[in-house]
A = this chain, B = another copy of it.
Amino acid sequence: MARAVVLVSGGLDSATVLAIARSEGWQCHALSVDYGQRHRAELDAAARVARALGAVEHRVVSVGLSDFGGSALTDPGIAVPTAPSAGIPVTYVPARNTVMLALALAHAEVIGADALFTGANAVDYSGYPDCRPEFLAAFERLANLATKRAVEGSPIAVKAPLVALSKARIVRRGLDLGVDFSLTVSCYAADGQGRACGECDACRLRREGFAAAGVPDPTRYAPQPAPAHMGIAP
Protein backbone atom coordinates (compact mmCIF):
# COMPACT_ATOMS: atom_id res chain seq x y z
CA MET A 1 0.00 0.00 0.00
CA ALA A 2 1.43 3.37 -0.97
CA ARG A 3 2.24 5.72 1.89
CA ALA A 4 1.17 9.30 2.32
CA VAL A 5 1.97 11.96 4.89
CA VAL A 6 -1.24 13.74 5.88
CA LEU A 7 -0.99 17.07 7.69
CA VAL A 8 -3.61 16.85 10.43
CA SER A 9 -4.20 20.02 12.41
CA GLY A 10 -7.12 18.75 14.46
CA GLY A 11 -9.60 20.88 12.53
CA LEU A 12 -12.54 20.05 10.29
CA ASP A 13 -10.72 20.37 6.97
CA SER A 14 -7.73 18.16 7.68
CA ALA A 15 -9.96 15.48 9.26
CA THR A 16 -11.86 15.35 5.99
CA VAL A 17 -8.58 15.18 4.06
CA LEU A 18 -7.45 12.23 6.17
CA ALA A 19 -10.74 10.46 5.47
CA ILE A 20 -10.36 11.15 1.73
CA ALA A 21 -6.79 9.83 1.69
CA ARG A 22 -7.86 6.67 3.52
CA SER A 23 -10.79 6.20 1.13
CA GLU A 24 -8.32 6.35 -1.78
CA GLY A 25 -6.34 3.49 -0.24
CA TRP A 26 -3.32 5.37 1.11
CA GLN A 27 -1.50 4.18 4.21
CA CYS A 28 -1.71 7.43 6.13
CA HIS A 29 1.03 8.84 8.37
CA ALA A 30 -0.59 11.72 10.22
CA LEU A 31 1.67 14.65 11.03
CA SER A 32 0.83 17.59 13.27
CA VAL A 33 3.00 20.62 13.77
CA ASP A 34 3.41 22.22 17.17
CA TYR A 35 4.43 25.72 16.12
CA GLY A 36 3.60 27.36 19.41
CA GLN A 37 -0.05 27.96 18.53
CA ARG A 38 -2.07 29.36 21.39
CA HIS A 39 -4.93 26.98 20.61
CA ARG A 40 -3.14 23.93 22.00
CA ALA A 41 -6.39 21.97 22.11
CA GLU A 42 -6.10 21.40 18.37
CA LEU A 43 -3.11 19.11 18.92
CA ASP A 44 -5.19 16.91 21.22
CA ALA A 45 -7.92 16.93 18.60
CA ALA A 46 -5.38 15.90 15.96
CA ALA A 47 -4.47 12.82 17.97
CA ARG A 48 -8.15 11.88 18.33
CA VAL A 49 -8.80 12.42 14.63
CA ALA A 50 -5.76 10.39 13.54
CA ARG A 51 -6.82 7.48 15.73
CA ALA A 52 -10.48 7.60 14.74
CA LEU A 53 -9.76 7.76 11.03
CA GLY A 54 -7.23 4.96 10.82
CA ALA A 55 -3.86 6.66 10.44
CA VAL A 56 -1.03 4.14 10.97
CA GLU A 57 0.82 6.68 13.09
CA HIS A 58 0.49 10.20 14.43
CA ARG A 59 3.52 12.36 15.01
CA VAL A 60 3.81 15.84 16.40
CA VAL A 61 6.88 17.75 15.25
CA SER A 62 7.83 20.96 17.02
CA VAL A 63 9.09 24.12 15.36
CA GLY A 64 9.74 27.43 17.06
CA LEU A 65 7.62 29.69 14.83
CA SER A 66 6.29 31.45 17.90
CA ASP A 67 9.83 32.75 18.50
CA PHE A 68 9.34 34.86 15.40
CA GLY A 69 5.91 36.16 16.46
CA GLY A 70 3.99 38.29 13.99
CA SER A 71 0.64 36.51 14.28
CA ALA A 72 -2.35 36.49 16.60
CA LEU A 73 -2.05 32.68 16.63
CA THR A 74 1.46 32.65 18.10
CA ASP A 75 1.91 36.01 19.83
CA PRO A 76 -0.10 36.50 23.04
CA GLY A 77 0.30 40.25 22.52
CA ILE A 78 -1.93 40.18 19.41
CA ALA A 79 -5.63 39.48 20.04
CA VAL A 80 -7.58 37.01 17.89
CA PRO A 81 -10.16 39.18 16.10
CA THR A 82 -13.84 38.51 16.65
CA ALA A 83 -15.03 40.19 13.47
CA PRO A 84 -13.96 39.74 9.84
CA SER A 85 -11.30 42.20 8.63
CA ALA A 86 -10.33 43.47 5.21
CA GLY A 87 -7.26 41.93 3.59
CA ILE A 88 -5.07 39.25 5.13
CA PRO A 89 -5.98 38.95 8.82
CA VAL A 90 -3.65 39.01 11.83
CA THR A 91 -4.28 35.30 12.34
CA TYR A 92 -2.05 34.70 9.30
CA VAL A 93 1.11 32.96 10.52
CA PRO A 94 4.01 34.00 8.29
CA ALA A 95 5.09 31.14 6.02
CA ARG A 96 3.21 28.57 8.11
CA ASN A 97 2.12 26.37 5.24
CA THR A 98 5.56 26.55 3.66
CA VAL A 99 7.08 25.36 6.94
CA MET A 100 4.45 22.64 7.48
CA LEU A 101 4.75 21.29 3.96
CA ALA A 102 8.55 21.35 4.28
CA LEU A 103 8.28 19.25 7.44
CA ALA A 104 5.83 16.89 5.76
CA LEU A 105 8.29 16.58 2.89
CA ALA A 106 11.11 15.70 5.27
CA HIS A 107 8.98 13.01 6.89
CA ALA A 108 7.79 11.74 3.51
CA GLU A 109 11.31 11.32 2.27
CA VAL A 110 12.39 9.36 5.33
CA ILE A 111 9.44 6.94 5.25
CA GLY A 112 9.26 6.68 1.46
CA ALA A 113 5.86 8.33 1.03
CA ASP A 114 4.63 9.17 -2.46
CA ALA A 115 2.25 11.96 -1.50
CA LEU A 116 1.65 14.81 0.93
CA PHE A 117 -1.95 15.70 1.76
CA THR A 118 -2.93 19.14 3.05
CA GLY A 119 -6.26 20.65 3.98
CA ALA A 120 -5.46 23.94 2.27
CA ASN A 121 -8.57 25.55 0.92
CA ALA A 122 -8.90 28.62 -1.26
CA VAL A 123 -12.68 29.12 -1.23
CA ASP A 124 -14.12 29.70 2.23
CA TYR A 125 -10.74 30.61 3.57
CA SER A 126 -9.39 33.47 5.57
CA GLY A 127 -7.37 35.18 2.86
CA TYR A 128 -4.13 33.34 3.50
CA PRO A 129 -1.75 33.48 0.52
CA ASP A 130 -0.33 30.02 1.23
CA CYS A 131 -3.66 28.27 0.69
CA ARG A 132 -3.90 29.10 -3.00
CA PRO A 133 -3.59 26.52 -5.80
CA GLU A 134 -0.62 28.36 -7.33
CA PHE A 135 1.23 28.15 -4.01
CA LEU A 136 0.55 24.42 -3.76
CA ALA A 137 1.68 23.81 -7.34
CA ALA A 138 4.88 25.73 -6.64
CA PHE A 139 5.50 23.64 -3.54
CA GLU A 140 5.04 20.40 -5.49
CA ARG A 141 7.55 21.63 -8.04
CA LEU A 142 9.98 22.52 -5.25
CA ALA A 143 9.49 19.14 -3.56
CA ASN A 144 10.50 17.39 -6.74
CA LEU A 145 13.73 19.37 -6.96
CA ALA A 146 14.53 19.24 -3.24
CA THR A 147 14.69 15.57 -2.50
CA LYS A 148 16.95 12.61 -3.01
CA ARG A 149 14.00 10.48 -4.08
CA ALA A 150 13.02 12.99 -6.75
CA VAL A 151 16.59 13.10 -8.09
CA GLU A 152 16.45 9.33 -8.20
CA GLY A 153 13.22 9.33 -10.21
CA SER A 154 10.41 8.96 -7.62
CA PRO A 155 8.26 12.07 -7.63
CA ILE A 156 6.20 13.27 -4.68
CA ALA A 157 2.67 14.55 -5.20
CA VAL A 158 1.17 17.41 -3.20
CA LYS A 159 -2.54 16.78 -2.82
CA ALA A 160 -5.04 19.34 -1.61
CA PRO A 161 -8.40 17.69 -2.27
CA LEU A 162 -10.35 20.49 -0.58
CA VAL A 163 -8.69 23.38 -2.35
CA ALA A 164 -11.69 24.21 -4.53
CA LEU A 165 -14.52 23.13 -2.18
CA SER A 166 -16.84 25.35 -0.19
CA LYS A 167 -16.98 24.70 3.56
CA ALA A 168 -20.47 23.22 3.10
CA ARG A 169 -19.17 20.73 0.52
CA ILE A 170 -16.26 19.85 2.82
CA VAL A 171 -18.72 19.13 5.62
CA ARG A 172 -20.85 16.94 3.37
CA ARG A 173 -17.80 15.12 1.99
CA GLY A 174 -16.55 14.42 5.51
CA LEU A 175 -19.94 13.19 6.70
CA ASP A 176 -20.22 10.89 3.66
CA LEU A 177 -16.89 9.38 4.70
CA GLY A 178 -17.95 8.94 8.31
CA VAL A 179 -15.94 11.75 9.89
CA ASP A 180 -17.11 12.57 13.42
CA PHE A 181 -16.67 16.34 13.43
CA SER A 182 -17.33 16.52 17.15
CA LEU A 183 -13.74 15.28 17.54
CA THR A 184 -12.32 18.29 15.70
CA VAL A 185 -11.33 21.74 16.92
CA SER A 186 -11.17 24.63 14.46
CA CYS A 187 -11.34 27.63 16.80
CA TYR A 188 -8.31 29.96 16.94
CA ALA A 189 -9.06 30.66 20.58
CA ALA A 190 -10.26 27.26 21.80
CA ASP A 191 -10.05 26.83 25.54
CA GLY A 192 -8.07 24.13 27.31
CA GLN A 193 -10.96 21.69 26.89
CA GLY A 194 -11.16 22.33 23.16
CA ARG A 195 -14.35 24.40 23.42
CA ALA A 196 -14.78 26.99 20.68
CA CYS A 197 -15.14 30.76 21.18
CA GLY A 198 -17.83 31.00 18.51
CA GLU A 199 -16.56 34.41 17.40
CA CYS A 200 -13.28 34.09 15.49
CA ASP A 201 -12.98 33.70 11.71
CA ALA A 202 -12.43 29.96 12.04
CA CYS A 203 -15.58 29.55 14.16
CA ARG A 204 -17.59 31.70 11.79
CA LEU A 205 -16.54 29.79 8.67
CA ARG A 206 -17.15 26.47 10.39
CA ARG A 207 -20.59 27.40 11.70
CA GLU A 208 -21.61 28.78 8.30
CA GLY A 209 -20.37 25.54 6.72
CA PHE A 210 -22.59 23.35 8.86
CA ALA A 211 -25.54 25.68 8.28
CA ALA A 212 -25.05 25.71 4.52
CA ALA A 213 -24.67 21.93 4.50
CA GLY A 214 -27.96 21.69 6.38
CA VAL A 215 -26.58 19.56 9.18
CA PRO A 216 -26.42 20.15 12.92
CA ASP A 217 -23.26 21.85 14.19
CA PRO A 218 -21.60 19.40 16.62
CA THR A 219 -19.10 21.99 17.85
CA ARG A 220 -18.73 22.33 21.61
CA TYR A 221 -18.86 26.04 22.36
CA ALA A 222 -17.54 27.63 25.55
CA PRO A 223 -20.21 29.34 27.68
CA GLN A 224 -20.52 32.94 26.52
CA PRO A 225 -19.84 35.71 29.02
CA ALA A 226 -22.90 37.86 29.65
CA PRO A 227 -22.87 40.85 27.28
CA ALA A 228 -21.66 44.06 28.96
CA HIS A 229 -24.97 45.91 28.47
CA MET A 230 -27.03 43.30 30.35
CA GLY A 231 -28.40 44.50 33.59
CA ILE A 232 -28.22 48.14 32.57
CA ALA A 233 -31.66 49.63 32.99
CA PRO A 234 -33.12 51.23 29.87
Binding site for B on A (CB under 8 A): 59, 61-65, 67-70, 88, 92-99, 101-103, 105-107, 109-110, 129-130, 132, 134-135, 138-139, 141-143, 145-148, 150-152
How many copies of the chain does the oligomer comprise?
A: 2
Cβ 8 A contact of A134, one of B62, B69, B132, B145? B145
* Complex: A129 Cα to B142 Cα, angstroms: 11
Interchain CB contact under 8 A, A106 and B98? yes
CB closest chain-B residue, reference A93:
B106
CB closest chain-B residue, reference A66:
B61
Interchain CB contact under 8 A, A106 and B68? yes
* Complex: A129 Cα to B145 Cα, angstroms: 7
* Complex: A110 Cα to B96 Cα, angstroms: 12
Q: List 5 A-B contacts (CB under 8 A).
A: A62-B62, A93-B106, A94-B109, A129-B145, A132-B145
* Complex: A64 Cα to B62 Cα, angstroms: 5
Given the known A-B contacts A61-B67, A151-B129, are A106 and B110 also in contact in the complex, defined by CB atoms under 8 Å? no
Chain B contacts for A132, CB-based, 8 A? 145
Interchain CB contact under 8 A, A99 and B95? no
Which of A62, A64, A143 is packed against the most chain B CB atoms within 10 Å? A64
Interchain CB contact under 8 A, B61 and A103? no
Cβ 8 A contact of A102, one of B64, B88, B95, B138? B95
